């Protein structure tokens, strides 16, 4: 080596940056990532958005049991001002009960009762309860009941108050969780199973640099995920985004890092893909159910509300909805960001402690 050539010194983070770039290049060999991370959430949002798009409520399906008085009850419903809200079929009792059991009918109107009208409905099915109330109101009105107070119905379907506006931030949070945990956890176990991690044991690479590079590689994908899904919501469903791009990106970034750390912890000792898959599903399943992705977690009993609100996906979804739908400043969401930060820091510290190369 010539004497005048300076010796190149590697910085403290040189290993981390090399590992991060190597991880990003490895993603080219995983074409399925493009579908599951980018295309699948768009297809899911499109399907659910079409299913729950703004349209008149579905007509209640009513089965009137054939027999004495069946035609009279059918005529009463047809004379009702709300007759367009019902799909009425006169069928025998066996067909009515079978259809009700299979969900074809929302409510059954019995016949042959001399005491008035007898309904059969399921109190656990919201559509059955609603159908029973609507039919009762129509029957009573057709029989001559007069309402004491006049009423006026006003429907609201403005952007920001629709189901699709509630859904897209939840899908965004769920996708950040899925990509963070599966992308990091699966990659780590796959390298361990293919004996690639053993090659790193003899190198001067720090364990923390390796785990940090593996986890932070999800940040690059996060930017594309958030941008694609929000742009799709704005274009396809005229969704209004009230929060700043910086706030949404920061919340998404913290969420991606948090779930990347949880993914590291979950897969820190798993030896096989099957065991890692079971552990990841075990961690994610409660959050799929409880964290308010597809419906509000407020429906669950109050006794479990503290547990639900402590879940990282619940906090992420609440923060995304507050920023996207309400424009809540980051300063007012410090408690949610703190909870996600605690989940991320504790998970990474435990993963660093328990991780093993083989």
pLDDT digits over 189-235, tens only? 877 877 777 777 666 677 777 777 777 766 677 777 778 888 888 88
Q: Which of 51-65, 97-111, 140-154, 296-310 has the highest mean pLDDT?
A: 296-310
More confident residue, 239 or 48: 239
The reported pLDDT for the residue numbered 7 is 41
Burial grade of 49 (CB within 10 A; 0-12, 13-18, 19 or more): buried
Q: What does the pLDDT look like over 141-160, one tens digit per residue?
A: 777 777 666 666 555 555 55
Q: What is the pLDDT of residue 26?
A: 65
Percent of the chain whose pLDDT exceeds 90: 11
Range from 3-17, 50-64, 267-281 carrying the lowest mean pLDDT = 3-17
Q: Mean pLDDT, to the nearest integer, of 23-46? A: 66
Mean pLDDT, residues 28-52: 67
Alpha carbon separation from 80 to 73, 144, 238, 356 (Å, rounded): 11, 10, 36, 72
Mean pLDDT of 259-287: 85
pLDDT (tens digit per residue) in 280-305:
888 888 898 898 888 888 888 889 99
Q: What is the 3-state secondary structure (H, E, C) of the chain?
A: CCCCCCCCCCCCCHHHHHHHHHHHHHHHHCCHHHHHHHHHHHHHHHHHHHHCCCCCCCCEEEEEECCCCHHHHHHHHHHCCCHHHEEEEEECHHHHHHHHHCCCCCEEEECCCCCCCEEECCCCCHHHHHHHHHHHHHHHHHCCCCCCCCCCCCCCCCCCCCHHHHHHHHHHHHHHHHHHHHHHHHHHHHHHHCCCCHHHHCCCCCHHHHHHHHHHHHHHHHHHHHHHHHHHHHHHHCCCCCCCHHHHHHHHHHHHHHHHHHHHHHCCCCCCHHHHHHHHHHHHHHHHHHCCCCCCHHHCCHHHHHHHHHCHHHHHHHHHHHHHHHCCCHHHHHHHHHHHHHHHHHHHHHHHHHCCCC
pLDDT category, 337, cuts 50, 70, 90?
very high
Is the pLDDT assigned to residue 6 strictly greater than 60? no
What is residue 298's predicted lDDT score, i.e. its pLDDT?
Answer: 84
Q: Which of 47-61, 175-189, 312-326 has the lowest mean pLDDT?
A: 47-61
pLDDT of residue 149: 64
Among residues 178, 355, 176, 181, which one has the least CA distance to residue 261?
181
What pLDDT does residue 37 have? 62
Residue bearing the bigger pLDDT, 164 or 332: 332
pLDDT score for 32: 62
Provide the percentage of residues in the chain whose pLDDT is more than 70.
76
Which fold, 60-142?
A: D-Maltodextrin-Binding Protein; domain 2 (3.40.190)
> What pLDDT is attached to residue 199?
74
Which is higher by pLDDT, 59 or 138?
138
Mean pLDDT (whole number) for 63-80:
81
Residue ranges per structural domain of the chain = 29-52+162-354, 60-142
Q: How confident is the model at residue 20 (pLDDT cuts 50, 70, 90)?
A: low
Query: Mean pLDDT, the chain, as a whole number?
Result: 78
Give the pLDDT of residue 307.
92
Q: What is the mean pLDDT of residues 31-50?
A: 68
């Amino acid at each position: 080596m010539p004497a005048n050539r300076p010796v190149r010194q590697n910085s403290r983070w040189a290993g981390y940056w090399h590992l991060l770039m190597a991880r990003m290049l490895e993603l080219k060999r995983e074409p399925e990532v493009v579908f599951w991370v980018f295309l699948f959430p768009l297809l899911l949002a499109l399907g659910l958005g079409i299913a729950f798009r703004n349209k008149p409520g579905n007509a209640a399906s009513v089965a009137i049991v054939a027999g004495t008085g069946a035609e009279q009850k059918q005529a009463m419903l047809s004379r009702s001002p709300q007759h367009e809200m019902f799909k009425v079929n006169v069928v025998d009792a066996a067909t009515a009960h079978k259809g009700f059991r299979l969900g074809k009918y929302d409510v059954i109107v019995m016949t042959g009762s001399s005491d008035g009208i007898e309904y059969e409905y399921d109190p656990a099915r919201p559509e059955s309860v609603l159908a029973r109330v609507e039919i009762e109101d129509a029957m009573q009105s057709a029989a001559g009941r007069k309402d004491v107070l006049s009423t006026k119905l006003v429907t609201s379907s403005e952007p920001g108050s629709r189901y699709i506006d509630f859904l897209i931030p939840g899908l965004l949070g769920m996708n950040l969780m899925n990509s963070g945990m599966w992308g990091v956890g699966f990659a780590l176990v796959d390298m361990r199973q293919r004996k690639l991690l053993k090659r790193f044991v003899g190198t001067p690479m720090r364990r923390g640099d390796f785990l940090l590079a593996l986890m932070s590689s999800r940040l690059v994908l996060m930017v594309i995920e958030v941008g694609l899904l929000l742009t799709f919501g704005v274009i396809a469903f005229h969704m209004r985004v009230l929060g700043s791009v910086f706030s949404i990106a920061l919340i998404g970034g913290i969420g991606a890092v948090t779930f990347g750390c949880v993914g590291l912890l979950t897969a820190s000792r798993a030896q096989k893909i099957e065991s890692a898959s079971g552990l990841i599903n075990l961690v994610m399943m409660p959050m799929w159910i409880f964290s308010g992705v597809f419906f509000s977690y407020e429906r669950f009993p109050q006794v479990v509300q503290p547990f639900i609100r402590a879940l990282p996906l619940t906090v992420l979804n609440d923060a995304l909805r507050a920023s996207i739908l309400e424009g809540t400043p980051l300063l007012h969401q410090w408690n949610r960001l703190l909870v996600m930060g605690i989940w991320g820091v504790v998970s990474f510290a435990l993963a660093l402690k328990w991780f093993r190369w083989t």
